[in-house]
Amino acid sequence: MPGELDAADTALMIQVLERLLNDDTFMDDEIKKEIKQYDNDGNLKIDRAEFQTMLNSYLGTISEDESSELFDDIDKDRSGYIEISELKRVLRNQILLELDRLKLENGM
């Protein structure tokens, strides 16, 4: 079927995702670049207002309640800012979920 991965593509995808997870500098430059677009005060951290603006640009208009709930889920240290390390954690968790899904679907 179109859009489906064959065994070789799946194995390659798993290998790439596993490499990303083992890289300590995983996505640092990309995350910093994204943060800088919305970081009005230049501290390389995203506050609630900046986060709302960022979400609206990616997802369209979302409610302040939804934005606040998501912010609180990501801001694990309750600093009032989303930092690079917290965004990396979210991305790593998403990669782990995708890796688990690929392995499960392919009997690995």
pLDDT of amino acid 47: 95
Mean pLDDT by 10 residues, the chain (108 residues): 66 82 78 89 93 89 91 94 90 87 83
Tell me phi and psi for residue 5, to 5 degrees: -90, 140
82 secondary structure, DSSP code: B
pLDDT given for residue 5 in this prediction = 61
Pick the closest to residue 23 from 91, 103, 77 (CA basis). 91
State the pLDDT at residue 1. Answer: 45
pLDDT at 11: 82
